[in-house]
Structures are given as C-alpha cells and as structure tokens.
Amino acid sequence: MKKLFILIGSVLLIAGIFQFSSCDQKSTSKMNAPIAKKIEKVFTEFGNKRVDNYYWLKERENPEVIAYLEAENAYTKSVMKDTEELQENIYNEIVGRIKQTDMSVPYKLNGYEYYTRFEEGKEYPIYCRKVLKDNASEDIMLNGNEMAEGHAFLHIGGWEVSYNNNYLVYSVDTVSRRKYTIHFKNLKTGEVLAESIPNTAGNVTWANDNQTVFYAIKDETLRPHKIFKHSLNTSPDNDQLVFHEADPTFFAYVYKTKSDQYIVIGSVSTLTSEFRILDAFKPEGDFKIFQKRKRGLEYDIKHQGNRWLVRTNQNAKNFRLMESPENNTSYENWVEIIPNRDDVLLGYVTVFKDFYILAERKNGLQTFRVFDIKKGKDHYVAFNESDYFAYTAYNPDYQNEKLRYRFTSLKTPGTIYDYDMVTRGLVQLKQEEVLGGYDASEYETERVYATARDGVKVPISIVYKKGFKKDGSQPLFLYAYGSYGSSMESSFRSYRLSLLDRGFAFAIAHVRGGEEMGRYWYEDGKLLKKKNTFFDFIDCGKFLVDQAYTTKDKMFAAGGSAGGLLVGAVINYESELFKGVVASVPFVDVITTMLDESIPLTTSEYDEWGNPNEEEFYNYMLSYSPYDQVEAKDYPNLLVTTGLHDSQVQYWEPAKWVAKLRDLKTDDNLLILHTNMDFGHGGASGRFEKYKDISLEYAFMLKLLKIRD
C-alpha cells in the first residue's frame, strides 16, 4: 500500500490511502490534531460490557496504524515547533555537562583489569582490558560504536570472559525488543566465531571448562523460559536443554557464583523463587534443586566457603539471613544468622571470601553492615548526608578485602569509593564530572513527609537551587513510580540542572508500591491496595501546594511505565492538580493487557496487579485503569511518549489512550503523542541521543510556563 507524503510548510503530513476517517481532523490553534477512526470492539467479562473503539491500533503491521502514529508525530512537531530552539539549547546544555572522553574505574579480576571508556562525540562504550603488568597494552574486547554501524539501536547485554581468559561471550540487541543474539570472540586472535545463538534473554555464563556456556531463551511472550547448554565450536542446533520453566508466571535465568564454584539457575515469580545448582567444574552433570518452590517463599543464595548465605522472607516480612550447609540445602537445614526486623529491610547480600555485607534499609535510607568472618565482628559504614542513595558497585573479585560502592544524592554527583573492610579506610576513586563549573553547595536538598489520607507518612525528597522561594511563585516537577517494590532513590542527574537553574524544584514522592520504607510499603501498594499508590501521589502533590513549594498552575507530574499508570490514574481522580503531565511509555490499558496472555509480562505479573480472570480483581483493576476510566471532562496538558518496538508496554497502550482522551476531553489543553519509531521501552541506546527526549519533555513544561529560554 502506498503512502502520500505531503509537505506543508516545514511539517510532513502522512496520509495512507485508506478510509480518511482514520485521520479525521479536530480544530486546534496549530495544525489539526489527528483523530483516530473508531472501530467498535466489544468485550464482555463478568456481565460487564467494555467498548474499545481503538483496539485496531494493535495491528503493528497495518499501514494505517503506522500512518496514524506518524501523523501524531507530525502534530507533536507542529505544536512544539515554537520550542525547537529551546529544545536544542536544553539538549546542548545537557550534553555540554557530560565529559565526553571518559573512562570507568577499572576493576581487577583473574590477572586483568577491566574498564569501559567513551570517545569524544561517540554514543557507545568501548569495553577494554589490560593484563596486570607494567606498560601493558590495551585490548579492545568490544567497540560499541563499530557494532552500532547500520543500526538505529544497539544494546550490549550480558558479557563474560572464560575462566582461562581466552574467550568472550556476549549478547547484542539491535531492535530494542530485548531479544538478544549471543556471539563468541577469541580474545587471543580477535576472531568472532561463526556460531551465534538468537532469541535469547541476553543472560549467559561460562562453566569452568572454558568450552561450555549456559544461556536462557525466550518464548513468544518474551519470557525467558528455557536454559540451554552450548559447547564452543559446535552448532547451536545441537544445544542441550537443561531446564524448562513451564509455569508462565515464572521466568528463568542463569549465572555463576562469585566464588566460581557453582552454576545457578534461578526461576522466580513475583512471590516465589526456586534455585538449582551445579558444580561449575562439571558442566556435564545434573542440576540439583536448592530448595523446592513453595508459593510465597522468596529466597536468594550466595555461596561462601563451605556454606550458602540465604536471604529469605520465610516467617520474615522484611527478610532475614540464614546459613545453609553447602550440600544439604533444603529449608530444614537453614540456620538463622540475622533475624527479621520490623523497622529494617534486608535488601541484598554481597559476599567476599572473608566478609559479607548486608544492604539494610531503615527510614527509607540504605546502609551497609559489614561482617568480618575471621574476627566475628560487624560494623556499619557511615554516610554524611540526610537524604542520599548508596549501593555496592561491581565487586567481582572474591578474594578482595575492599568493598567498592557508589554514593550519590539529589545534589551530589555519583562518587565511587573503595572501602577497606579491615582498616575501615575510605578512598574516593572517582566522582562524576559535571562540566561547566557545577557547585553542589549552590543547591539544597530536603526530606519532608506528607500525610496521606489514611494517616500514613509518605517521604518526599526535594532538590532546588538556593534562593528558591517557598511562596508558591516557583514551579515544581514531581516524579514517582510506586510498583514492583522498586524504590525510587535520591540520585543525582546532571540533566535536571536545566530545570533547577530555571527555577524549578524537583521532587520524588516515595509512594507505596515501592519498598523505600520496608516490605509492607510495597505490599500496601499492590493488588487490592494499588490505589494507595495513586492517593499517596495526589496527597504528596497537595502537600507541596499547601506548603507553598508551588501552586497547581506551576506543578508538573511525571511517571514512566508503571509510573505512567500512576500519573494516568491520578489525572482521572484529580484532573486539575497539575498544570501538565509527562507520561513515558505508560502502562494505561490495564484490563485489556492483563487479559491477553500473549503479551509479554502478563501472566508473570498476576501477583503484582491481580488476575483479571477473577471477578474481584477484574472489578478493582477496572476501577482505576486509566484507559477505561477516561471520561468527558477537563484534563491537564499532556505529553505522552512511547516506542514502536517496546516489549514491556506495547506502543498501542499510549496510542489508544491518547486517541480516547482526544475524543472525550472537554478542554483546550495540549495533548501530544510522540512515538519513537526506532526504539523500545528504554528509549534511545546512545549516551547522547536519549537526551533529545528529555529536552522535549522539559521544553513542554517550559512552554506551558511561557519560559522561552
């Protein structure tokens, strides 16, 4: 089918040769907004009738769908045309703060040091290593810039060097669907071997025979469900299946323990986990179940010496630490080391030969508790800011006595430290360099608490430039996520300076559904308590207005993916609370998506959202689903973004949502949809390209405030 390309001024209009009602026009002050045609699709569940007039937008290969998305892009370009110079200025500001020729802090492993580096003007990292000797030359293992040639997108997934240092296995996605192809490289000769393995999860690990790798492949819903074993220099057609996860609510992955002693297959769902282990020196052997799955039992394992450390929720809401013998690993053999604590969440465990570290979260802030096995003592690593985020960096050397970690806050650029666990000495290795003379002392951070409607105190982290007036005269950008127990951390982002320096405050609402305040915080924001997430966000916004940080006419909200669901639900409940909303790859068509088991991440997430095949969950999910609850009323200004190749939130969810909003809303506020036709859920893959989307988002807000520079 041909398409007509009509150039009007500087705007390219796309009209497929089909019924033109698919792009009827609605009058606006700029070029006319595309109006998607309606084709009634009726769903009937539990006696309830749902009409979806835009279900046809799911037809990815339909030229009319592509034409509609391109027409929306042209409309967005038209509406935002008066901000093009501003967008360019913001983009140049953001990129201008980035040190273009840069290198990561090297780490040492098995006789080599490894690092990544960037070259000026280049989008992708270069993965390098050097042998540990004086004046050693650099070996380039992977050059992302060369690998990206001819592709709009490139992501290097998992990579690992063989036990004898001679071979590299790595995975690559060039489509942005998170389907990776595995490749092998001889690091001695530089030759990339002929064999490759498609449709994998990107997750791959070596056995210690230097010939065998284990990897996961994906099913038609993009769920990693099978683990295969491959021998170097053989056809992948002959690879052996070693594990099949048949339960569609679980996904599988594989890794090698830091001790190099075991290959581990993990199989996990939202509420349940199960592991299998195999001697890494005997890849021909059979995997043994560590502890058989039991619904509601979550655990993860770390090998250390002649034991396993097991972090588990068994009789422990906030998790406790157990010890298991190396060979008798079922639950009845576990012995408690650290008990459950109601006010402390045990987040994860990092192991070394003579030490282990617990990442503990209390009052929303993460600390490190270091255990010295030889001395039988423990201590905490202290941090000197009241609102921050610290996390362990990559620590692959099992023998090391130094813990490498990263510290950051809303005003402190990411800083890498080595902490000596014996002497307790601390060495700063690197701090993210912000070009242009950034001075952290010119900015202030706060941690305040809003009282939600049910009396719960919800933390809010805030940053602004000194001189910010709390009299309602300045704008504020409020962000949240609130799902999957994923905590939104107080991390520095240099691109935010383009807002802060224009008078904005930036705030993170640590709403329920995350895990900032412990496991109960997560459980109070999921399933039949999901609305707590939305109401927390609304109440945080109202608190910020009541405390004169801003006003409704100057407050903006943003969320992406499940955070897009959050802001989508919020504007149905409180459509006048925000001046504008940015919804990035938003999960807004909750019921239709969760009823479609062919879509990635559906069945595996019943324990997060609920199973809409059950009436109680269906009714509850329907009551907040942003798409289903759109109605004829005023909505705030909206910028919605998506990616055509998104594998997590399919492009049609935001596209349908915008179409329905445009049909029903009663205001003249902006409603624009930007679809990236080359990328997926994570946006652009290059280190600079992604900031074009951020520049668009910032220009959208500044336009609404009539800020032109």
CA distance 103 to 118: 6
CA distance 701 to 500: 13
Which residue in the block uniquely carries the two structure tokens 């009299």? 471
Joined together, the tokens standing for residue 602 give 């559906």
CA distance 264 to 297: 18
Question: What phi and psi, each to the nearest 5 degrees, are found at residue 286?
Answer: -105, 140
First to last CA, the chain: 43
- The H or E element that residue 379 is part of is strand 377-381
Question: What phi and psi, each to the nearest 5 degrees, are found at residue 81?
Answer: -60, -35
**432: Cβ contacts below 8 Å, ≥ 6 apart:** 413, 414, 415, 492, 494
422-439 as b/e: b if 16+ CB within 10 A: eeeeeeeeebbebeeebe
For residue 149, the 8-state DSSP code is: T
518: left (phi over 0), alpha (psi -120 to 50) or beta: left
Q: Indicate if 155 belongs to the active site.
A: no
CA distance 550 to 537: 15
**72: Cβ contacts below 8 Å, ≥ 6 apart:** 34, 655, 658, 672, 673, 674, 675
For residue 270, the 8-state DSSP code is: S
Contact 402, 378 (CB under 8 A): no
C-beta neighbour count of 616 within 10 angstroms: 13
Q: Could you give the 3-state DSSP secondary structure of residue 182? A: strand
CA distance 670 to 667: 9
Which one of the listed residues 681, 685, 693, 695 is annotated catalytic? 681
For residue 344, the 8-state DSSP code is: B
Which one of the listed residues 561, 604, 625, 695 is annotated catalytic? 561
Joined together, the tokens standing for residue 329 give 């690993």
C-beta neighbour count of 611 within 10 angstroms: 18
Contact 629, 541 (CB under 8 A): no
CA dist 411 → 51, 438, 459, 555, 558 (Å): 48, 10, 18, 21, 20
Three-state secondary structure along 112-135?
Answer: EEEEEEECCCCCCCEEEEEECCCC
Which one of the listed residues 524, 628, 646, 693 is annotated catalytic? 646
CA distance 582 to 574: 15
Joined together, the tokens standing for residue 193 give 């071997």
CA distance 88 to 696: 9
Q: Indicate if 162 belongs to the active site.
A: no
Contact 10, 583 (CB under 8 A): no
149-171 as b/e: b if 16+ CB within 10 A: eeebbbbbbbbbbbbebebbbbb
Q: Indicate if 303 belongs to the active site.
A: no
- The H or E element that residue 555 is part of is strand 555-560
Tell me the residue ranges of DSSP E strands in 634-688: 637-643, 671-676
Instruction: Name the H helices within 514-614.
Output: 519-523, 531-546, 562-573, 590-594, 606-609
Joined together, the tokens standing for residue 23 give 């792009």
- The H or E element that residue 196 is part of is strand 192-206
What is the identity of the amino acid at 501?
A: D
C-beta neighbour count of 188 within 10 angstroms: 10
| Cα angle: 671, vertex 674, 679; to 5 degrees | 155
Residues involved in catalysis = 561, 646, 681
